[in-house]
A and B are shown apart, each in its own frame.
Chain A
Amino acid sequence: MIFTSLTLDTAHRNDGKLVLIAAGEIDLSNIEEFDHALSAATTEAVGSGATLTVDLSAVEYLDSSAINALFMRADHIDVIAHPILMPILAISGLSELVTIESAPPTA
């Protein structure tokens, strides 16, 4: 059985900011996993008095459950997204609450 593939990593950027890097697809089958990682990373970033950067450059698909999860932490996150996701993030209204940066298109 094919499950939705998703990899989640956290890293500190050169400037010390915490980054949650997701790659793959996010849907109902793995939303708990994403939500859990997002929650932990947000808590960590907030604890150090900074915002969390959620890097979705390598996410090819996300649904409303992922968007909801992002909304829940809207005050504490920035988002980097693949350009193809920009319309969805705009339609959902997330871009009105969260700074969303378009990632350079991948080759």
Chain B
Amino acid sequence: MADDPDDPAFTRQGLRESLGQVHDGLDELVTARDEMEQLVRVIVEIGSDLDLDVTLQRVVAGAMELTGARFGALGIRGSDGALATYVYRGIDGDTARGLGELLVGGGLRIDDLTAHPQATRLHAHDPPMQALLAIPITVRAADFGSLYLADDRPGHVFSNVQEAAVRALATAAASAIDNARLFERERETAKWTRASREITTALLSGDPQTGPLQLIVNRALELADAEQAILLTPSEPDLPADEVDALVVAATAGRYASEVIGRQVPMAGSTTGGVARRGLPLITGSFQYPIEGFTDVGERSAIVMPLIGDNRVLGVIAVARHPQQPPFGDDYLELVSDFARHAAIALALAAGREHALNQQLAQADTVDDAVRAAAEELRRLWRARRVLAVTFPTSGSATQTGYGTPEVVSVGEPAHWTDLPSETRHKLSALREGDLLTPNSTKPGTAGIALQHPKGVLVVWIDLAEQRPFTLEDQTLLTVLAGRLGQGLQRVHQFDQQRETALALQHAILGPAELPHGFAVRYQAASWPLQVGGDWYDIVDLDDGRIALVVGDCVGHGLAAATVMGQLRSACRALLLDNASPAAALAKLDRFAARLPGAQCTTAVCAVLNPETGELVYSSAGHPPPVLVHADGTIQILGGGHTIALGVRPQWSRPEAHVTMPARSTVLLYTDGLVERRRIALDEGISRAATLVQDGRVSPLDDLANQMMSGLAPSGGYQDDVVLLLYRHPAPLELTFQADVSNLAPARHALRSWLTRARVDPDQSLNVLIAAGEAVANAIEHGHRNSPGTISLDATVLVDEVQLTITDTGSWKTPQPAANPHRGRGITLMRGLMHDVTINPETAGTTVHLSARIE
């Protein structure tokens, strides 16, 4: 600092100035030194605050202190160049404006103002102003205004030294003002940026109290410190910008709200329309087309800004200040256009139901699917190199807070949590701990954000393909999408849980989980995502060894029909266990259905099957007839035992019919959803189904069921609930026994009696028995020498073929005839007796497939 009196530089400078101007001795030098100290202190003081108002106040106070003047003022020029605002001290506003009328030029010093022609207004001051010093302030080469000092004490004048000091102060003031203005703009920018974020967040939270448009005008009004703000939207929102004819005032804030709302403005020839078309904001005091309640309330400064998102005009915001307020400066345009851009993005996204992310979320069945789909969508959107979606599950235990092991989904390149660099892991963890929905993009080329996940916190991390900064706009978009994702995940989660609950209930009320052998069932509910509807099936093992089959159809679909169905199914099952007569069971169900709301007109077919003999007793309550297809392809429609639907006439007598299923015949029970099609007669539908059974009678039953479901499905999928139930007589044989010679005879007897039921002739039966016997004997001999295992023997009959599978849990030894004199011809014999023999030795066991053509 230059305030040290021993500093030779100070001394020389002080001497030159003091001697040149004051011509006096040491006292003067001391005074000059004191004044210098004072000047430096004042200059330091005025630069010590970044608030513009405070800075201006300090400039005036400092100048008064330096000069000992009684009055001080600072006149500041407006955008038109005229002095518009004043900061003053010791005088009133009028006197300050009077000072402002003086022509300052490069500086003005007057010893006696009373004689000055420009100072008439100041003559009114009592006592009259005597001395004046006025110095211009230039900030960044622009005329900022002038600093005025005045005194009314007779004989008081401003000296050269004082003028020099005030000029020095004016220079310092200029840079302090510049700093303060820069700071103010920064602060203003931050305010608008924060507002943009707030709007984004608020739009996403979907607060029903305040619509998105209202929210935007409210914030615009507040931020611009304005009198009125209006938001106009296209009268036809779906049209592209160049096809929109008119704008409508859709939201308003501030004064005249009720007058202006709903007013229309043409796009062509209006100021707002022009802004919408060009997409550029402007500041204006005059509008080319009147908007009642906005343009007709007096001349005022207004900013008009477009809201453009997704290449569509979403709207125009017009904000007007009070006529007495300072007009909007040009620097404001940049601020509000940023704000408008973000508001538009948020608005477009908030409205954009068709957005890909939403579609992805809507299609996801589970939260995990949704997270992956979202990560892929974000990667696509930003053409990112990689997107990490890391779920930090909240620890399940109540006593332990914190997070479990993070689950990483990585798209673009594979990654696991443990493989990630510790720096990345640290960043992800930091985001997890921070505020949700607050993007972090401090490192160029990356951005991260945390959001709510049903299991805890999800952190999304984007690595861009190039090292470009993640702009404010990117951040807004990321915030919007992350907010959506959070909500979407919650929705998927709830839906998932509901569906799981529903599924558990559905399966509880639907048919048996495990079917007896020989049956194939397909069930499809029309009402996605429900997997149960009004249709049902049941297969019940009765006490006498017979099996009851039920297929029914309640009116309607969806949950309502399903609840009725569940009750009918249970009732029917109970009735059948009580009395194994289809007609009797349906007659009793009739009375039950009559009392159960929604159960009237339920149709059902009920059959009781003797699996030994193939005898089938059945009764139908208004249900489409079962179809029986014989081994030779003959189709038999089981139209007997038929009468009206359930719950219509409770005392109705119900018939039943008998049929014996020949060996290798297939019976089909179904609901109308399988066969009923618009513009196609029901008979024709039934006959198409029957033909498919006929064609598929050589296929295994499960394959046939699949063929039928796909073969009969309408092009857009089934629109109604569908039940398909197939049984082929006899049911396949399934035996499981210990690998011991003592089980040879019982297994052979079971197989012999099954072959009889399948009507395989005795000669062929013996061939099958011997071949199967050889396979079983080999399994006992070779597979289980050391530890006895189990052997299973399955036999299935198709129309023209018997198929057997013998599986054991050991490995076969290479046949060694010499080692065992009794064996060795077994495999040769099997091949001689069967049409096809395959032996698959696996380490876990050996499987033998045998098949023989039958007549």
Instruction: State the A residues within 8 Å of B (CB).
Output: 1-5, 25, 27-29, 31, 35, 61-65, 67-69, 71-72, 84-85, 87-88, 91-92
Contact = CB atoms under 8 A, between A and B. Distances in A.
A28 B770 contact: no
A91 B829 contact: yes
B777 A28 contact: yes
Given A28-B781, A35-B822, A68-B821, A3 B745 contact: yes
A61 B822 CA distance: 16
A63 B741 CA distance: 13
Interface stretch (B330-338, B378-386, B761-769): B761-769
B829 A28 contact: no
A3 B748 CA distance: 11
A67 B825 contact: yes
A29 B742 contact: yes
B773 A63 contact: yes
Contacts of A92: 825, 828-829, 832
Interface in B560-606: none
B741 A27 contact: yes
B770 A61 contact: yes
Given A63-B773, A64-B777, 19 more contacts: A1-B746, A2-B745, A4-B745, A5-B745, A25-B748, A28-B741, A29-B741, A61-B769, A63-B770, A63-B774, A64-B828, A64-B829, A67-B825, A69-B822, A85-B766, A88-B829, A91-B832, A92-B825, A92-B832
B121 interface: no
B165 interface: no
A100 B148 CA distance: 144
A64 B823 contact: yes
17 contacts: A25-B745, A27-B741, A27-B748, A28-B822, A29-B745, A61-B748, A63-B770, A63-B777, A68-B821, A68-B824, A71-B825, A72-B821, A84-B762, A87-B833, A88-B767, A88-B770, A88-B829
Nearest to B766: A84
Contact of A64 (B742, B745, B762, B825): B825
B749 A2 contact: yes
A48 to B, nearest CB: 25
Interface in B702-751: 741-742, 744-746, 748-749
B780 A28 contact: yes
Contact of A28 (B744, B746, B769, B832): B744
Contacts of A87: 763, 767, 833
Contacts of B826: 63-64
Contacts, number: 84
A65 B823 CA distance: 5
Contacts of B822: 28, 31, 35, 64-65, 68-69
B787 to A, nearest CB: 18
A1 B762 CA distance: 26
Contacts of A28: 741, 744, 777, 780-781, 822
Contacts of A3: 742, 745
A27 B823 contact: no
Contacts of B777: 27-28, 63-65
Size category of the B interface is: 20 to 34
A60 to B, nearest CB: 8
Contacts of A65: 777, 822-823
A88 to B, nearest CB: 6
Contacts of B781: 28
A91 B821 CA distance: 19
A29 B773 CA distance: 12
Given A65-B823, A91-B833, A27 B767 contact: no
Contacts of A67: 825, 829
A56 to B, nearest CB: 13
Nearest to A63: B773
A27 B773 contact: yes
A83 to B, nearest CB: 9
A2 B746 contact: yes
A21 B226 CA distance: 121
B780 A64 contact: no
* Centre residue among A35, A65, A85, A88 by max chain B CB count within 10 A: A65
A93 B703 CA distance: 40
A84 B770 CA distance: 12
Contacts of B824: 64, 68
Contacts of B766: 61, 84-85, 88
Contacts of A71: 825
Nearest to B822: A65
B775 to A, nearest CB: 11
B363 to A, nearest CB: 60
A1 B826 CA distance: 25
A68 B744 contact: no
A79 to B, nearest CB: 16
A10 to B, nearest CB: 21
A65 B781 CA distance: 12
Contacts of B833: 87-88, 91
A98 to B, nearest CB: 14
Nearest to B781: A28
* Centre residue among B763, B770, B777 by max chain A CB count within 10 A: B770
Nearest to A72: B821
A29 B746 CA distance: 12
A52 to B, nearest CB: 18
A34 to B, nearest CB: 9
Nearest to A82: B766
A70 to B, nearest CB: 11
Contacts of A25: 745, 748
A35 B744 CA distance: 18
A67 to B, nearest CB: 6
A64 B744 contact: no
A85 B766 CA distance: 8
Contacts of B744: 4, 27-29
A84 B823 contact: no
The 5 closest A-B pairs by CB, nearest first: A65-B822, A91-B832, A29-B741, A4-B745, A64-B825
B763 A64 contact: no
A84 B829 contact: no
A2 to B, nearest CB: 5
B774 A84 contact: no
Nearest to B765: A84
Contacts of A61: 748, 766, 769-770, 773
